[in-house]
């Protein structure tokens, strides 16, 4: 019984490490940075991660990263709101973008 309880509580702790979050903002103060190899990171978003950064998982295509870059730049210029959904892992302190949209 104790082993089952321990396993269940370990599962609950592990599943609570991840949460789906979202940010709705006009990204005028966001800082986009492109790294060699195609990695795009955005800072100053207000996310829970260090520096308010958001980035993409390694499996995300360069086309999706290009669309995100274009969306943020368009919203910056036009002063329009966007929403970014991301997965926050509180244990690893990672914030991976899962989807985004323009209002």
pLDDT of residue 10: 47
What's the distance, CA 54 to chain centroid? 4
Q: What is the predicted pLDDT for the residue at 17?
A: 76
pTM: 0.80
Rounded-to-integer distance, Cα 9 and Cα 3, Å: 10
Average pLDDT over residues 24-47: 94
Please give the Cα distance from 24 to 9 (Å, whole number): 33
pLDDT of residue 83: 98
Whether the per-residue pLDDT at 70 is higher than 80: the answer is yes
Decide: 67 and 2 in contact? Cβ < 8 Å: no
Q: Domain-by-domain residue ranges, the chain? A: 19-102
CA distance 71 to 30: 12
The larger pLDDT score, comparing residue 38 to residue 47, is at 47
Rounded percentage of the chain residues whose pLDDT exceeds 90: 76
Whether the pLDDT of residue 6 is over 90: the answer is no
**Which pLDDT value is given to residue 18?**
84
pLDDT at 63 over 80: yes
C-alpha 42/C-alpha 94 separation (Å) is 13
Strand order from edge to edge, sheet including 54-55: 18-25, 82-89, 94-102, 54-55, 39-43, 31-35
In this structure, CATH architecture of domain 19-102: Beta Barrel (2.40)
């Amino acid at each position: 019984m104790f082993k089952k309880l321990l396993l269940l509580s370990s599962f609950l702790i592990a599943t609570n490490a991840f949460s789906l979050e979202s940010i709705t903002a006009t990204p005028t103060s966001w800082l986009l940075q492109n790294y060699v190899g195609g990695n795009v990171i955005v800072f100053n978003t207000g996310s829970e991660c260090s520096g308010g950064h958001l980035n993409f998982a390694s499996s995300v295509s360069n086309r999706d990263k290009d669309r995100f870059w274009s969306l943020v730049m368009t919203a910056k210029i036009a002063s329009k709101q966007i929403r970014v959904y991301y997965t926050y892992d509180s244990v690893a302190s990672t914030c991976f973008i899962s989807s985004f949209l323009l209002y």
